[in-house]
Amino acid sequence: MSGAARELAGLFLKLGTTAFGGPAAHVAMMEDEVVRRRGWMSRETFLDYLSAANLVPGPNSTELALHVGLARDGARGLVVAGLAFILPAACIVGGIAWAYVRFGALPAAAGVLYGVKPVVIAVVAQALWGFGRTALRTAPLTLLAAAAAAAFALGVHEIAVLVGAGVVATLAAAGARQAPSLVALVAAGSVAPRTGTAGAALLAAGVGVPAAGAAAASTGGLWTLFGVFAKTGALLFGSGYVLVAFLRADLVQRLGWLTERQLLDAVAVGQVTPGPLFTTATFVGYLVGGWPGAVVATVGIFLPAFLYVAVSGPLVRRVRRSRLAGAALDGVNVASLALMGVVGVQLARAALVDSLTVGLAGASALLLLRWRVNSAWLVAGGAAVGVVAGLAGLVR
């Protein structure tokens, strides 16, 4: 293994083990490591790769890791970075799935999340500050970011806003006056229903497991399972709640391999463990097919991301060299930044629930900005504080 590949493996194994908090937090931690600490690429290039990941289906933070690997060490780097980021989380989720089947309940994680979430807010805020200084170079781009944030907050679908922002920036660069009306046309009718009521259910614990299990244990069943997750990975845009809708249609309604509650528990495990949310597939695969099912489902849902990045990665630098295409990328960049900001605000509302969590977020931000403490250490410290708070009865 080359030196670059070893560096990628070390970094993404660490992130795959410590990156709690979902895609926004993963992006922030990657930026801290790849741009600020290691200097592997400029913040502008990192934003370009983030935008490219946002514009294709699949797990955005995993695709960003793949872009970093591809840029650092070619095809070998793509594979090394992707596997290193996915495998720790998949192993953790697989172990939880084994315990879930064996003992009939999800392990308690409320204390850990109580302490980790405020740290995640600080990490995301620090990344947004750095991204903003890079991406919001002009007043029109700043206004476009504000408009994109408002559209996201009002429920306009992510892809409509990203594409619309790219179109507006391109037209502005070309001197067209129709930009505002065109973005309104692109966004019209794109409001996607939000599955808000599922949020509380996703953190439920202590749920018994019906006496079912290896529904997909046969070879034919494993191929069907692979097909379900490969289709999901190839087509899915959006959040974990959209993942629920995809898997519910196939595994609960069409195949009858899972109950509604098992599916929600699977997504909950993906949210409360580090690394990609799509390791939900590992949990589901274990429930319906044991360890073979876990492997097949994990490979199925992540394989399209490897293919998408292998094809799109080399195009990003070519796009940046074109004036109009570069302007479009600038528009998508600021829209991606706006999306991350809206998600950050939503996370903050859920995480900063009392004076202790507010203080933990403030202390983490100070350590990040003043002394550049590694975000992985801050996450570990937050988890320790959360466990102590849980034992002291401070976690509701």
Look at residues 114, 131, 21 and name the one whose alpha carbon lies nearest to residue 359.
114
Q: Phi and psi dihedrals of 191, rounded to 5?
A: -70, 115
Q: Per-residue pLDDT tens for 327-378?
A: 888 988 898 888 888 878 887 888 898 999 999 999 999 998 888 887 778 8
Model pLDDT, residue 201: 35
Give pTM, 2 decimals. Answer: 0.77
- Please check whether residues 147 and 269 belong to one and the same domain: no
Other beta carbons within 10 Å of 88: 22
- Domain stops at, among 304, 330, 361: 304
pLDDT at 136 over 70: yes
Output 268 or 118, whichever has higher pLDDT.
Answer: 118
Model pLDDT, residue 253: 84
pLDDT at 207 over 70: no
Look at residues 217, 202, 195 and name the one whose alpha carbon lies nearest to residue 260.
202
- Please check whether residues 283 and 349 belong to one and the same domain: no
Q: Phi and psi dihedrals of 156, rounded to 5?
A: -65, 140
- Please check whether residues 170 and 270 belong to one and the same domain: no
pLDDT at 208 over 50: no
pLDDT at 230 over 80: yes
- Please check whether residues 287 and 224 belong to one and the same domain: yes
In a domain, 286, yes or no: yes
What would the DSSP string read from start to end of 11-33? HHHHHHHH--S-HHHHHHHHHII
pLDDT band per the 50, 70, 90 thresholds, residue 124: confident
With 0-12 / 13-18 / 19 or more C-beta atoms within 10 angstroms meaning exposed / middle / buried, residue 358 is middle
Q: Return d(Cα 173, Cα 186) in angstroms, integer.
A: 18
In a domain, 190, yes or no: no
* Three-class DSSP category at 263: helix
- Please check whether residues 226 and 341 belong to one and the same domain: no
Q: Return d(Cα 356, Cα 114) in angstroms, integer.
A: 10
- Domain stops at, among 304, 330, 345: 304
- Please check whether residues 148 and 71 belong to one and the same domain: yes
- Please check whether residues 219 and 127 belong to one and the same domain: no
Collect all residues with Cβ–Cβ distance below 8 Å to 246 and sequence separation of at least 6. 232, 235, 236
With 0-12 / 13-18 / 19 or more C-beta atoms within 10 angstroms meaning exposed / middle / buried, residue 36 is middle
- Please check whether residues 278 and 319 belong to one and the same domain: no
pLDDT at 69 over 50: yes
Q: Return d(Cα 314, Cα 311) in angstroms, integer.
A: 7
Q: Return d(Cα 158, Cα 54) in angstroms, integer.
A: 9
pLDDT at 307 over 60: yes
pLDDT band per the 50, 70, 90 thresholds, residue 176: low
Look at residues 41, 46, 48, 44 and name the one whose alpha carbon lies nearest to residue 4.
41
Output 210 or 148, whichever has higher pLDDT.
Answer: 148
In a domain, 77, yes or no: yes
- Please check whether residues 126 and 170 belong to one and the same domain: yes
Q: Return d(Cα 209, Cα 258) in angstroms, integer.
A: 10
Other beta carbons within 10 Å of 127: 27
Output 54 or 21, whichever has higher pLDDT.
Answer: 54
Give residue 175's Cα distance to chain centre. Answer: 35
| Mean pLDDT score across all residues of the chain | 82
Output 317 or 198, whichever has higher pLDDT.
Answer: 317
- Domain stops at, among 251, 279, 304: 304
pLDDT at 190 over 60: no
- Please check whether residues 205 and 347 belong to one and the same domain: no
- Please check whether residues 12 and 104 belong to one and the same domain: yes
Contact 150, 63 (CB under 8 A): no
Model pLDDT, residue 95: 93
- Please check whether residues 140 and 151 belong to one and the same domain: yes
Structural domain count of the chain: 2
Q: Which domain holds residue 270?
A: 198-304
In a domain, 252, yes or no: yes
In a domain, 45, yes or no: yes
In a domain, 193, yes or no: no
Model pLDDT, residue 99: 86
